[in-house]
Amino acid sequence: MPEHDVEFSRFVVDRSPTLLRLAYLLSADRAGAEDILQTALIRAYLRWKRIATNPEAYVRRILVTTAVDERRRPYRRRELVAADVPDLPDDAEESAYLDSKDALLAALRSLPPRQRAAVVLRHWVGLDPAQVAELLGCSTGTVRSQTARGLDKLRASYAHPNPEEGAVR
Amino acid sequence: MNDHDLLDLLAAEAPEPAPDHAERLLLQARHTRHRRRRLQLLAGAGATAVVALIASLAVTNSAKHVVSNNDPATSPTVSRQQTDPAGPIPEPAIYAVVIRALGGEMQPRVGHWPVLYVVDHTCDNVAAPTRGKCDAWPLSAALRTGLDAGLASYGPVTFVPNTSAVTDSHDLHIVHGGILIALGPVQLNGRHAQVQVSIVHGGKDGRGATYQLTGSGNHWRITGNDGAAWIS
């Protein structure tokens, strides 16, 4: 196997779990996350010689670009229609935890793509506002305001999982 | 719970990569690269065809003009009007250089062969004794024309579908005193290229090698090779 392919395979094996989590947070969609990561990694392979010094930054940039630009998303899968309602858990504490997580996910999905990307890049990846601004093509002030609004929604949804309590606006 | 933990809670819901994720992705990436190169080649061939068509139209129009004017002094000749068929795509020039180089290593005193049989599709690892996966598509018309022109002084080119078509089944010599040439795909990276080629003259007279070249358009020179991968 050529050295280029060996390096690429090693990168995919080592970094895919983290990159898939990032793709999931950016898209708030399991299937969509796999799609955009696959697209990003194939593009990385095609430019490997030029990006080999820091392939992760390149892949991250493609993930962000694809996730925030609705037109570039391979396709969108939001909800599955099911004939039967799944069984509800009996345990009240477990149920509350699941409610919180579901509400959190719903809140993440409800954020506009760029706001979601700002929150994830700033507070999960740990980039500074200037780096996030560069990736999103906006000012640091916009990053700060978008991040603050997005986080407010997420915190509220986790604290008050029931929408009737006014958590998710 | 801080903001990172909040997002971590969601990140934990992300799917895990499949165990064979890397292998499948590598296969798909290679396929994509291969398909892109083929499209680029086809685009080059299309451009060549358009240029050739325009050139032939220009010749026809000029000839008509000459006939109507009856002025032999301004009559264009076909050779002057024709564009270089190898112009838009670099592959013919690259192949011509490495074929001459490897042929020269095998038979330094032979400057012209009775016939050059060229396998009409590329295969991976032609420099190795056992070939890799072969291209399902034959060499493009532009590439064939370019090879014809580029190797004209080295011998007449005939394209063959496989090695057995021109290999004598008794002594394994190539028929009509010719050589059989198998080409690997050209790997282009800007002004640099790498390509594999093998040449067989007989059962114990052949070799394969990988060459590195530098250049552009129709001007390429060999900058290195990995030595003969096999010599028979």
CB A114 within 8 A of CB A79: no
Residue B177 DSSP code: G
- Least Cα distance to B26 among A50, A93, A8 occurs for A8
Same domain as B33, residue B101: no
Tell me the mean pLDDT in the region A51-75: 80
Q: Which pLDDT belongs to residue B67?
A: 41
Point out the domain boundary residue: B39, B67, B83.
B83
Most confident residue range from A149-153, B84-88, B142-146: A149-153
Tell whether B75 and B103 lie within a shared domain.
no
* Domain co-membership, B139 together with B224: yes
Question: Do B38 and B117 belong together in one domain?
Answer: no
Query: Is there a single domain that holds both residue B121 and residue B28?
Result: no
Contact list in B for residue A101 (CB cut-off 8 A) is 9-10, 13
CA distances from A122 to A16, A22, A107, B15, B49 (A): 20, 12, 17, 22, 53
Question: What is the structure's pLDDT at B75?
Answer: 34
Indicate the residue among B28, B55, B83 that finishes a domain. Answer: B83
Residue where a domain terminates, one of B44, B65, B83: B83
Give the whole-angstrom CA distance, residue A129 versus residue A133: 6
Q: Which residue has the tokens 């042929």?
A: B103
The model's pLDDT over B82-126, given as tens digits with 9 standing for 90+, comes to 334 434 578 899 999 999 998 888 877 778 889 999 998 888 888
Contact across the interface for A25 and B28, Cβ inside 8 Å: no
Between CA A43 and CA A58 the distance in angstroms is 9
pLDDT tens digits, one per residue of A11-59: 999 999 999 999 999 988 888 888 889 989 999 999 998 898 899 999 9
Handedness of CA B141, B147, B150, B153 (dihedral sign): negative
Contacts of A119 in chain B (CB under 8 A): 3, 7
- Closest chain A residue by Cα to residue B189: A49
Token match 């399991």: residue?
Answer: A30
A67-81, A124-138, B67-81, B188-202: the lowest-pLDDT one: B67-81
When mean pLDDT is compared across A41-50, A115-124, B69-78, B148-157, the lowest value belongs to: B69-78
Domain hosting B114: range is 91-231
Residues B117 and B226 in one domain: yes
Is the same domain home to B155 and B196?
A: yes
Burial of B222 (C-beta count, 10 Å sphere; 0-12/13-18/19+): middle
Residues B206 and B125 in one domain: yes
Decide which of B159 and B64 is more confident. B159
Same domain as B144, residue B66: no
B contact test, residue of A5, A29, A42, A154 with most B CBs within 10 A: A42
| DSSP result, A25-84 | HHHT-HHHHHHHHHHHHHHHHHTHHHHTTSHHHHHHHHHHHHHH-GGGSS--------SS
Number of structural domains chain B divides into: 2
Q: Are residues B183 and B145 in the same domain?
A: yes
For position B73, what pLDDT does the model report? 40
Q: Which among A23, A46, A151 is the nearest to B3, CB-wise?
A: A151
Query: Which of A161, A53, A47, A37 lies closest to A105, judged by CA?
Result: A161
Q: Which tokens hold the place of B136? A: 């399902």
Q: Are residues B79 and B95 in the same domain?
A: no
| DSSP state letter for A164 | G
CA A67 to chain centroid, in Å, comes to 8
- Residues B27 and B113 occupy one common structural domain: no
Q: What is the ipTM of this complex?
A: 0.72
Show the domains of chain A with their CATH numbers: 3-72 (1.10.1740), 92-165 (1.10.10.10)
Residue with tokens 């989590």: A21
